[in-house]
Amino acid sequence: MTKHIAIVGGGPAGYVAASHAAAEGAQVTLIDPHPLGGTCLHRGCIPTKTLVEVCNLLEKMRRAESYGLHLSGTVEPDWPAMRAKAGKVIGLLNTGINSLMADRRVVHVQGRGRVLDGHRVEVTGHGVIEADAVLICTGSSPILPESFIADRARVVTSDDLLHWDTLPRFLLIVGDGVVACEYAFIMNALGVQVTLVAMGERPLPFIDSDISAVVQREMRRRGIEFINKCAVESLMAIPDGVVALANDKVVASAERVLVAIGRRPNTHGMGLEEAGVELGPRGEIVTNGFMQTGLDGLYAVGDVNGRLALAHAASAQARLAVDHALGLECAPLDESVIPWAVFTMPEIGCVGMTEQHAIEKGHAVSAGRFDLRGLGKAQAMSELTGMAKVVTDRVSGRLLGVHIIGAHASDMVHEAAVLLRQGATVHAITQTVHAHPTLSEAIHEAAEDALGQAVHKPMKRKKTHHADALP
């Protein structure tokens, strides 16, 4: 008998769940009042990465002479044209998702869903939809405290920024996470003077400290002001902009402010508490390893369950939840080996434990590093900023984490993700021949360095004691 899966939310969790369930023979109803693709496609990953690519091209063109190229005239950013470019990419991918759903005969019901239990969803204007299982995939929204709403024309979240018709001369960013740091580099490349105010000591505090140090150094080199250890308590409108207050003192001011202090799961107004669904302290839906809630038939996938706020993690969780709901063979995800990609300038790719985390876990750590500037490919590309870092257990040789910052880091990290998932040792990298000249050689060199000697680094010589030197 064909099973019916109802999915509430059409982002990278919802539409992937729909696609996968339909491919497995299920009848699928996808409920979302908005165009499919979610925040990732319409306001997050895709438009921001389009802007990052444009900014990378802009910076290369500004350095054209270093490549032996002579451009006539200056190269200047065109913000409306950049927004239009992002809009075209969004439109193209949205059309692709709609075509995919049509091909799989997924029924898209445009309305807001209210969960009644694990088998029924009430949809505004469409009545009650009954199913064998219900997946909640409603994502998350940016947090904007009431004390920060000084002037909604000048104080925005990442959901609003792409609607700007013009760019400010001065921008204040509150936050130190992925969104805050990515937009700091984007706006700086476009000629905006950026100040970033963070609660933590360094940008991207969750990543390896050596990688974060490169980010902070690049911010300083580019003129991005980074104010650390500062908890902004409120924002106040002034005639020509906004000021940030901490301890009743002005700590920064700008024409406009981007608030990027985190995201909140979209669970409000869905009838979850009335249905008896357990929620965590941030409003996230509590799930087990198979993405099941405490209600029979009800699953929660992606940002809404608060487990890992990554689009690709949401998609992986979606496949798992569908397999479990359909009774297919499946196993919980190992979320510790899901890679991260951060599109600062340069970009970051990382997976597994940081050196600090590995030490806290009790490992005898050996970490190897290699600067990209030591690679022929990096020199040829004039992409010298960055490094690769390999974290291993010195006793067992087991690979614990790989962290990369530099050109194409987000693409290179998957070599490490595969090895970590397999529980490989560092020798799996050093004994794999890496093509030359490539940027991936940095991972090989860093792995060799973790073992003691990297071919293209100064030789590590053991200290000779004076007594040993005597004849």
Q: Which residues are catalytic, by number?
A: 436
DSSP assignment of 377-388 equals HHHHHT----EE
Q: Cα separation of 88 and 94, whole Å?
A: 10
CB 244 within 8 A of CB 227: no
The residues near 292 (Cβ < 8 Å, ≥ 6 apart) are 298, 299, 321, 324
Residues 64-98 as b/e (b if ≥16 CB within 10 A, e otherwise) read eeeeeeeeeeeeeeeeeebbebbeebbeebbeebb
> Residue 296: how many CB atoms within 10 A of its CB?
10
The H or E element spanning position 416 is: helix 414-421
Distance of CA 98 to CAs 90, 93, 101, 313, 316, Å?
A: 12, 9, 5, 22, 20
Cis preceding linkage at 77, omega within 30:
no
A 10 A CB-CB count for 269 gives 8
Give the DSSP letter of residue 313: H
Please give the radius of gyration of the chain, using alpha carbons only, rounded to the nearest integer.
25
Residue 24 in contact with residue 328, Cβ under 8 Å? Answer: yes
Closest CA to 351 of 421, 438, 425: 421
240 burial (CB, 10 Å; 0-12 / 13-18 / 19+) is exposed
Q: Which two tokens stand for residue 154?
A: 């000048």
Measuring CA to CA, which residue among 223, 172, 233, 180 is closest to residue 204? 180
- How far is Cα 345 from Cα 217, in angstroms, rounded to an integer? 11
C-alpha span between 304 and 119 (Å, rounded): 19
